[in-house]
Structure 1
């Protein structure tokens, strides 16, 4: 079946290349290199998705478009709980993600909360209304974007306030989801000119999506609560821009709050769309963040200055019913037992850079960067716990992490001839990481917080990231390039692993046995940074005025990998260690063609082979084992057909995504992961998602459309183990995509 899909893809590409059409592709402008350039002039592997395409695809958050990008994969447990991987650089742990995430000039990834749930390595998930474009940069971007850019960088570019313009839009979207119910989204934007030199742009969104998973009583099959994974999100974005001479200043504030009444997971593999529970135990989730930014830019003629100061203040709370894991340990419970998680994140970054503007053979860019982050995370497995066993609960943690980084960076480009160019980049960074963590309760000390095990850790290190690119323009609009680049991320501290030789203390005893089997004495307190080296050959080509074909071959070598060492289900306290080396190699192909003036085909495919290059017995990893969450193949095809009429245009958009199967944990498809409490096996099956949109855009500034998302009602499994405590051998907390959703949308521009 896989080979049939690949053959069909190849056939469609060949048929497109043989098509003659008179239409002409538009130029795509990006700022990935921190300059304003045409996509075809930038010597790196980039996918650029315009705001118009985002609207046509009906994407409301980044998850909706992630599968359209070659070599990008994800692991998700709902809004605000998504981890991104690019080019197979997939890690389930660490103090920082492997993909950096930007909103305009703001890096919005921050240090990890330390959670063992889906929050680990996740990114803030802003709504996408009124975006200019999305850029996905594949491969290490360490010189320009710093640490956490090992696999690549995602950039969300908002629409800027337009000086001297008064315009706006309103959008209403209503739909119904199979197994769920009614959903609606309201969006609005207004741009107001302020005097001769200013503009204020306000964007607001409200999302109310019904859930599709019910919480059920285990014995009587009575429904406790229907559609518990509903989502309510409120978003407000305000930007003001004031221009004076060749300079501008732009303050920006972005607020978003998301609430859910329950987990977006079902108890696999037994009961799709159902959470089977002993008690009626709600599991609410709330994620609230405020982002503030001040950007100043000035053009001095031959040089431009840009300075950006930003802050993210994020707080999320997460509740999980751990009655079943508690029962698995003690054999009885008297009431519902909860794990409560509350995390407060504060992150401040500053960047200033100078960029040359001249048309000389030599171009340059240089800057400084500073980051100061703090994550204060509290975990309590106490509420509902039988005080007769221990009045201080099952396990409690308070974990304070701080991270401070300073860096200098720069790039030099030189045109050796009119067609041959070399670019070299370098970034030096120095960081300090501190962690103070307290663990107490039955599993750790048996006492209150005054008796807590304490981890007081301080790590300082520095790193150098580099890049060297050679580019040959074989036509005015086409090029070949070769790149060597590196990327890295910092080290960090672990959760305390309880140890005891007393079998009566079952959790600590199980952990002690696990650590002994791994040959570890004491507690594994910390781990080091890891790094990636990338070798890439790529091309950008406009074959004709209506056919664009870009691609890249790459080889990534990953050293000292930060990977999760998973203990037994009886212990349930995982930790991070540096686990040897891995290699990821593959190819990315992107094709855009205008078959006619009104018919556009976009096709993209990615192949990734990401495997460990050595055996690491302490982590249960063998040579040639595969990394988790990495599909070998991904395919996307989008057809956009327009029918012009005298009073507007009708349009049809069909989008097809196919994603290969992935592993839940590193290893093999045949790996026995039941010891980790996962009973569904180690393979998350491949899936194909089709979306269809039919609409009319009027010359009188309104647009109406009907759509079906997930046309074939296909299930896409994102994870089997979204658990704050640990999975047990009775069910997996399985997270899936939204079932088939049928809806209508209306937009009015004024």
Structure 2
């Protein structure tokens, strides 16, 4: 019997539909947990939707502190990005290319997956809130569209992090400490603590605090040209600047090879020096914060919960390596990379009963500050006016004086985000065959950002006093550049949403239930501000009103614009005369579930999800190149709403007297007008914009199996098979995006994991355990543009070597399109392959249910996984995982 109780305590650690076990006679069974996936509290096995959840005990046993670690155990979820606080979540293969993280505040798609902290949506474009997982009750992942109950960004799924709330049962406290060392990297350490107090019979408080220093392992090494370091290439600069250099090949022929040369006259192309920034293990991250909660019970029907979470995330360095350099932990950075991401979130929930109704009013206020300093030197490899920025050339320059100067650049960003949400929700409790959930929702977001870019070499501009047409950073009379900042984004983006939603469930029989849900929404998207070259506010008003005088004032030919609108080439129907983008619609969900037995549930669902449109800074403008493929092309004023229609069949069941649990879902999704980010400075525009790439289909199966093999051994496995396919490509992206039949990026066709936990008895009431997990992720494709060969061409010229990364051939592009060499020869189209990898973790520990000590090894075989290949610096950078890490965790809980 004691062994059964032991199993009860630990099944939660492994189950993807997690939990403990419970006794039934002499046998243990898998226990289910309660979730709120339908905004009602229900058993996870009775909810007729696909739900994956881990409770707090499971998160602790798995050593999970952030969502990236949690994703290792979710095969159908992808966490894609460039480091802490700079990631996007994708579920079930519904993925596309996002904007460069440096531009996510001014020009990024809305997320396709909503992220909630308790009842509050906190997802943001490009930079989801990276909440540290301390004192967590559970994490719920709801794959597939959840838009009827959870709104706009729940197009492909919803992730909810549910915190522990103040309880009124008395005093409790606990702490966790962790110290570890990473192979080839720094030591890391973390401390977490919480306490709960009942101040009166009706008033309770709970406080949790944490500080987690995650030591780095990426080395910023000295730039050594000829050994994979940054050389620079006049050929690349000339090509992207329209072939303006008189003899780029000749300038390249004299590329610097001696790192000791520091006189610009001694080299045609200057290689930047980073000696002052050379540092081992430069990519540190520190999470620190606290959460304060207060619960007050007014009476037996009404109670109030108020919580405040305050967190600061500081990172230094980058979490990617340069594949052109030797090894998998080296990079060349020429400016400091620093990021401070601080947020305060205050939330409140009032719950009560009105006769036969449960009433919930919940709201929240989020205030987030991001301060970033980042190396922007890579812009030299892709900026449309790079020759003007860094090169000394032209008819008045002697050939021996033609050279390109130090390309070092930086970008500073100061972004303030506020988000104010309110929801009033009603649930019926009348004991009838039908049940209703209905509510009202209001959301107001404001993102105010100022981005300052050092683009030109100021010495060059001071010497040459050139006028750069279209860049107000240069005085119109040809005067010197006024400061080291050459370009500014000053943008305020406001998104206001109102919605009415509801869901009706009806018990057709005692075992069959049908439900229908709907959500009506209206979203106003107001985009104001300017760049150094574009008055965005005035431009949007001009395209909204189509007033000829206003169009002419922003540099557009009114007749040409009106003709483009008339022909359907430009859509401005959702933009009003004040430049505000307004969309409204109604989405639906239908489901039918059958409780075959007490332990087996079958269900079928149809659901819809959407993402709102995105306004473009230079919308309506003509492409720079008006010939060949780009003849007549105009940048969309906004990308239109993309929608996802989902059909799924599911099974949830406990078998063999409750010792085996199988949950599985098969689904088919259709994506219409899939949004993507585009940046084509050579042919179209030097500013990033968004577009609709076309349509896609996704087919897949998700499954997880939990097996209580013995009273002492629990085994859990989960897998995801996904087949994604583009079914239609917008004509203007033909040859740039992969063609019809191509896979969507970032998601592997097959991923899976298996983990096991074995317990054994020790003396004096102690128990030992061994935990092991293996997670496999298959090959994935990077991005939506077939730019890999173009990137390799640039990498070879700029570094003197290629990246060595594998490429999937997909197509050749047209003559005169983006990917041609300096002689206009076609470069093949293809995308980088993010190769498959296997991560293995093991741990051994001892516990007596009050304290626990555990020795663990994460990434046992030191796998260097390719998590992301970032091509948005115009040469590839590889985001990788932490190398093998050995650590010790201890915890103590007092009840």
TM-score (norm 2): 0.74
Tell me which of 744, 752, 770 is aligned to 1:627: 744
Equivalent residues of 2:96, 2:675 under 8 A apart:
yes
Q: Distance in 2 between matches of 1:520 and 1:676?
A: 28
1:672-711 equivalent positions in 2, closer than 5 A: 674=792, 680=805, 681=807, 682-699=832-849, 701-711=850-860
Counterpart residue number, 1:437: 529
How far did 1:216 drift?
2.0
1:195-206 equivalent positions in 2, closer than 5 A: 195-206=200-211
Equivalent residues of 2:76, 2:92 under 8 A apart:
yes
Q: Distance in 2 between matches of 1:418 and 1:597?
A: 35
Counterpart residue number, 1:560: 673
Tell me which of 628, 647, 666 is aligned to 2:784: 666
Equivalent residues of 1:586, 1:606 under 8 A apart:
yes
Q: Residues 205-246 of structure 1: CA distance to partner in whole angstroms, max 9, x if unpaired?
A: 101111111212213696712211101121111111011222
How far did 1:643 drift?
1.3
1:269-288 equivalent positions in 2, closer than 5 A: 269-271=324-326, 272-277=328-333, 279=334, 281-288=335-342
Equivalent residues of 1:626, 1:668 under 8 A apart:
no
Tell me which of 866, 873, 888 is aligned to 1:727: 873
Unaligned runs of 5+ residues in structure 1 are 1-20, 113-119, 445-450, 501-510
Counterpart residue number, 2:596: 474
Instruction: Kindly indicate whether residue 701 of structure 2 is the aligned counterpart of residue 587 of structure 1.
Output: yes
Instruction: Kindly indicate whether residue 445 of structure 2 is the aligned counterpart of residue 373 of structure 1.
Output: yes
Q: Distance in 2 between matches of 1:717 and 1:344?
A: 32
Equivalent residues of 1:625, 1:666 under 8 A apart:
no
How far did 1:745 drift?
0.8
Q: Distance in 2 between matches of 1:569 and 1:60?
A: 43
Counterpart residue number, 1:415: 507
Higher deviation after alignment, 242-251 or 296-305: 296-305
How far did 1:192 drift?
0.8
Q: Distance in 1 between matches of 2:292 and 2:112?
A: 30
Counterpart residue number, 1:354: 426
1:568-587 equivalent positions in 2, closer than 5 A: 573-587=687-701
Tell me which of 411, 417, 426 is aligned to 2:518: 426
Q: Distance in 1 between matches of 2:376 and 2:620?
A: 19
1:160-179 equivalent positions in 2, closer than 5 A: 160-179=165-184
Instruction: Kindly indicate whether residue 377 of structure 2 is the aligned counterpart of residue 305 of structure 1.
Output: no
Q: Residues 55-76 of structure 1: CA distance to partner in whole angstroms, max 9, x if unpaired?
A: 1110110100113113111212
Higher deviation after alignment, 326-335 or 338-347: 326-335
DSSP-derived class of the 2:624 partner: helix
Q: Relative to 1, partners in 2 of residues 1:420 and 1:56: Cα closer, same or farther, differing over 3 Å?
A: same
Q: Relative to 1, partners in 2 of residues 1:479 and 1:218: Cα closer, same or farther, differing over 3 Å?
A: same
Q: Distance in 1 between matches of 2:377 and 2:119?
A: 44
Q: Distance in 1 between matches of 2:152 and 2:331?
A: 39
Counterpart residue number, 2:893: 749
Counterpart residue number, 2:726: 612
Q: Distance in 2 between matches of 1:465 and 1:441?
A: 39
Tell me which of 451, 454, 458 is aligned to 1:382: 454
Q: Residues 143-199 of structure 1: CA distance to partner in whole angstroms, max 9, x if unpaired?
A: 110111111000101111111310010111000011211100010001011101111
DSSP-derived class of the 2:217 partner: coil
How far did 1:642 drift?
1.4
Equivalent residues of 1:22, 1:596 under 8 A apart:
no
Equivalent residues of 1:70, 1:589 under 8 A apart:
no
Instruction: Kindly indicate whether residue 650 of structure 2 is the aligned counterpart of residue 538 of structure 1.
Output: yes
DSSP-derived class of the 2:380 partner: helix
Q: Distance in 1 between matches of 2:66 and 2:626?
A: 40
Q: How many aligned residue pairs are there?
A: 697
Counterpart residue number, 1:488: 610
1:320-339 equivalent positions in 2, closer than 5 A: 320-326=374-380, 329=386, 330-331=390-391, 332-334=404-406, 336-339=408-411
How far did 1:674 drift?
4.5
Counterpart residue number, 1:654: 772
DSSP-derived class of the 1:162 partner: coil
Instruction: Kindly indicate whether residue 110 of structure 2 is the aligned counterpart of residue 96 of structure 1.
Output: yes
DSSP-derived class of the 2:844 partner: strand
Q: Relative to 1, partners in 2 of residues 1:398 and 1:307: Cα closer, same or farther, differing over 3 Å?
A: same
Q: Relative to 1, partners in 2 of residues 1:376 and 1:24: Cα closer, same or farther, differing over 3 Å?
A: same
How far did 1:457 drift?
3.4
How far did 1:675 drift?
7.5
Q: Residues 677-722 of structure 1: CA distance to partner in whole angstroms, max 9, x if unpaired?
A: 79544111111111111111125x2110000111111112222227
Counterpart residue number, 1:33: 38
Q: Relative to 1, partners in 2 of residues 1:384 and 1:377: Cα closer, same or farther, differing over 3 Å?
A: same
How far did 1:499 drift?
7.8
Q: Relative to 1, partners in 2 of residues 1:191 and 1:517: Cα closer, same or farther, differing over 3 Å?
A: same
How far did 1:310 drift?
0.3
Unaligned runs of 5+ residues in structure 2 are 1-25, 99-107, 225-258, 260-273, 392-403, 462-473, 475-480, 537-552, 557-574, 796-801, 808-831
Q: Distance in 2 between matches of 1:561 and 1:398?
A: 28
1:390-409 equivalent positions in 2, closer than 5 A: 390=474, 391=481, 393-409=485-501
Instruction: Kindly indicate whether residue 741 of structure 2 is the aligned counterpart of residue 736 of structure 1.
Output: no
How far did 1:625 drift?
1.2
Tell me which of 639, 646, 657 is aligned to 1:527: 639
Instruction: Kindly indicate whether residue 196 of structure 2 is the aligned counterpart of residue 182 of structure 1.
Output: no
The CA RMSD over aligned residues, in Å, is 2.7
Q: Relative to 1, partners in 2 of residues 1:147 and 1:524: Cα closer, same or farther, differing over 3 Å?
A: same
Q: Distance in 2 between matches of 1:225 and 1:734?
A: 19
Q: Distance in 2 between matches of 1:727 and 1:669?
A: 12
Equivalent residues of 2:452, 2:488 under 8 A apart:
yes
Counterpart residue number, 2:308: 253
Mark the structure with the bigger radius of gyration.
Answer: 2
Equivalent residues of 2:588, 2:608 under 8 A apart:
yes
Q: Residues 593-626 of structure 1: CA distance to partner in whole angstroms, max 9, x if unpaired?
A: 1111121111100011111102334222310111
